[in-house]
Structures are given as C-alpha cells and as structure tokens.
Amino acid sequence: MPLGVLFGVLLLLLLLSAFFSGSETALMSLNRYRLRHKARQGHRGAKIAETLLKRPDRLIGLILLGNNLVNFSAASLVAIIALKVGGQPAVAIGTLLLTLVVLIFSEAAPKTLAAMFPERLAYPAAMIYYPLLKLVYPIVWMTNACSNGVLYLLGVRSDQSGLQSLTREELRTLVHEAGSRISSRYQKMLLSILDLEKVSVDDVMVPHNEVVGIDLSDPPEKIAQIITESQHTRLPVYRDSIDNVLGILHLRKLANLAVQAFDEHSLQALLDEPYFIPEGTPLSTQLVQFQRRRLRIALVVDEYGDIQGVVTLEDILEEIVGEFTTDPADEIADAVRDGADAWLVDGMANIRELNRAQGWELPTDGPKTINGMIIETLENIPEPTTCLVIGGYPIEIIASDENRVRTVRIGPRTTAKQNRG
C-alpha cells in the first residue's frame, strides 16, 4: 500500500480517536438537569443523550471500545510506516511521535474543547452512538458484564448511579450561579423559600408582650377604641391575660354590629376557635398547615402551654417576598442613624428584621432580639457604656435597667468576631 494511503488512514484514525475522546468528555460533562429540561422540550439530541446516559456503563464501554480500537490500529499503522521509511530504528521514533500527536490532538485538545462546550459535541455524538450501540451491542454487553463483575467484587453496584436529587444547599448554589438569568428580586425570593425550613415561627411571630388583642376585662369604651384603631383584621380575644385566650375575632364580623352597642356575650358569639401551634415549628410546615386549615393566624405556645406570641400567614409570606404592608405602626423604626456609620437600636428589636433592613449579619441562631443576644453573650444585664463585639459588630450599651437592655449603639462591622469590654 502506498505511503500516501497509509498516512491518510492514519490521519482518519487520529480524527476518530479525537472524536471518541472528546465525545466521552462532552457526554459526561453535560448538566443532567439542563439535559432533562431540553429532552422534555423535545430536543432530539438531548432525548438520545438522556437515554444513553441512563446506562453509563454501556455508553462508556462503547466509547472505550471504539477509542482503543482506533488507537491500537494507529499504533500498528505507525509501526508499518516506520518500517517502510527507516527500518526498525524508526519504529521507536514513530512510537514517540505518535504518543505526542495522540496526547495533543486526540486527547488534550478535543477533551478541553468538549469540557468548554459539551452540548455542541454531545448531542451530535449521541445520535451517532445510539445506532452504533445497537450494532455492536453483543461486544459491549460482554465487556460490561466482565467490568461490572469486577466492580461487584469491589462492592460497587451499577444501579447506584443515576441522577441524584439536589440538596437544599446545592439548590442555593444553583440560584446564586444563575446570575443575570434571574433578577436579584426573584433570587432573594427563591432563596427565602429554600430557607423556610431553617426558620421557625419563633423568628417571625409577634412576641407575647406586643400582641394587640381585646381584653374582655377592659371597659367597653377601651374595647371599642382598640377595634376602631386596629391595623389588623383578626384580633385575639382574652380575659385578663393573653394566656387565657377565648378565641379570634375577625373584624369583618362586626359589620352588622354597632361598635358602641355590643356587649360581651354578642362579641363572644362572633369568635372563631383559637389555633395553637408549638414553638419551633418550621415556617415551611406552618405554611402548609395554614393552607390545609384555611386559617391565617395562630397562637404560638411553649411546652407548658403558655402563649409566646402570634404568627400570621402574612408574617410567613413576608419572609419570602419581603415587607409589603404600609402599616403606620411599622414606620416606627427600631434603628435610627447616629452619625455617619452608627445606629441607635432598640433593645427589643428583632435581629432577623434588622439584618434584612440594614443588610447586617448579626447571628440569628440564638436569641431573637438584641437584648437577648447581649444578655446571652455577657451572661448578665450590662450597665450603660459597656462595649462588646458580636458577629464583628461593635455594640455600646446606651441605656439599660434591671430587667433588660433598652438602647444600644451599633457601629460598622469590623474583622473582630466577639469581645467584651
């Protein structure tokens, strides 16, 4: 056979080797979730690639069969060419040159290109591999049977492969990496949904001492004033203490009842049965419960049955979409700017709400308020002018009494994590 023909066949074998190497990398580098999405949209190449990747052992067996076949054939051909050109001494030189050529042009370059643009090569290659696998299936089956037998002895089962479900943290990473494909607002909403399981009703509830309700022990004039000035549509009704709650009043039911003319019995007749939930309930669970029960408000109780606060459907939704109410009471800021960088903060301010409003990263895995966080850190109620650092934020106690910290000054974050002063 003329040398020109031999070199032509060698070039063809090198191209086939590059195809097998590159297509293997491309198929294995495919984003499986993007592949599934395209397959469901009807993309032919994606459908075939998804079918092949359901049994990766067969696909890899086919690719390795082809790749080794062309590489060994190329090595034999180089030996023939070397013998014709320079005799036996040229065989060693030909082997070295073939190794370099295969390494560069048939392995490194096509695999790098395939890793950078996997879909461009994977989908056309899949349409070639699918009929080829049907053609040489007996050989591939025998090869896989032997390799799977070796893996079985090593404790590896072929059915352990496949598309695994993403964890919550992996989903968070995907949302972050979406970049400009998803607007920042939608990214925040998606991340908030993923975080619902980590947030409990304790983090968003209105605490016991801030619950607005109707005390039937109060005079009718005060009850009428509370109803008239209420910014909420549902109010808990109790006697003497919120722990002695009688029910939930929907103010809409008062439409046919003159506010000044009602009595205690007529008011109690309008009450809905209170709905109690244990503290620590994840927001994701409570959202489902609200939906199933068709309720919008719940009373949070501790292990002793004492009411700790009130949580509403609105509170949970605001964890996802952010604040969307214009309640005048909400306009009373818990943080007031004090100078260029510092803020004066109420001791009872909710840490999660402060973090969201100010963009801070104060720790939220412990107490829910600034007062609780400081007392837990110092293990006592500090005197004014006491300074400490929590989560990298310098905090100065401005006002306190024997019960709690009332006002603090929080400065810009530093590199320090926690310190007392």
Residues 9 and 72 in one domain: yes
CATH number for the domain harbouring residue 400: 3.30.465.10
Residues 101 and 211 in one domain: no
Distance CA 29, CA 79 (A): 35
Is residue 300 assigned to a domain? yes
Residue whose entry in the numeric block shows the structure tokens 């989908």: 123
Mode of pairing for the β-strands spanning 297-301 and 342-346: unpaired
Tokens representing 74? 């190329």
Specify whether the CB–CB gap between 200 and 298 falls below 8 A.
Answer: no
Is residue 173 assigned to a domain? no
Burial 98-123 (b: 16+ CB within 10 A, else e): beebbeeebbeebbebbeeebbebbb
Tokens representing 2? 């003329």
Is residue 188 assigned to a domain? no
Q: What is the span of the domain harbouring residue 45?
A: 3-160
Count of C-beta atoms within a 10 Å radius of residue 248: 22
Residues 11 and 64 in one domain: yes
- Look at residue 419 and tell me whether its pLDDT is greater than 80: no
Is residue 217 assigned to a domain? yes
Domain count, the chain: 3
Residues 129 and 278 in one domain: no
pTM over 0.95: no
Residues 343 and 320 in one domain: no
Residues 253 and 129 in one domain: no
- Look at residue 181 and tell me whether its pLDDT is greater than 90: no
In this predicted model, what pLDDT tens digit does every residue of 222-256 receive, in sequence order? 888 888 888 888 899 998 888 889 999 888 877 66
In this predicted model, what pLDDT tens digit does every residue of 40-70 receive, in sequence order? 888 898 899 888 888 888 888 899 899 999 9
Is residue 270 assigned to a domain? yes
Is residue 180 assigned to a domain? no
Specify whether the CB–CB gap between 370 and 354 falls below 8 A.
Answer: yes
Count of C-beta atoms within a 10 Å radius of residue 223: 19
Distance CA 125, CA 192 (A): 40
Tokens representing 87? 């005799």
- Is residue 156 helix, strand or coil? coil
Residues 69 and 32 in one domain: yes
Under 8 Å CB-to-CB from 222, ≥6 apart: which residues? none
Residues 15 and 155 in one domain: yes
Last residue of a domain, one of 101, 133, 160: 160
Residues 218 and 129 in one domain: no
Side by side, the strands of the sheet bearing 241-250 are: 214-215, 234-239, 241-250
Is residue 98 assigned to a domain? yes
Residues 278 and 386 in one domain: no
Residues 17 and 89 in one domain: yes
Residue whose entry in the numeric block shows the structure tokens 């004039």: 221
Last residue of a domain, one of 280, 304, 324: 324
Specify whether the CB–CB gap between 277 and 299 falls below 8 A.
Answer: yes
In this predicted model, what pLDDT tens digit does every residue of 79-110 receive, in sequence order? 888 888 877 778 888 888 888 998 999 889 99
Residues 29 and 81 in one domain: yes
Cα torsion 275, 281, 283, 284 to 10°: value is: -100
What mean pLDDT is reported for the chain?
84
CATH number for the domain harbouring residue 295: 3.10.580.10
Is residue 193 assigned to a domain? no
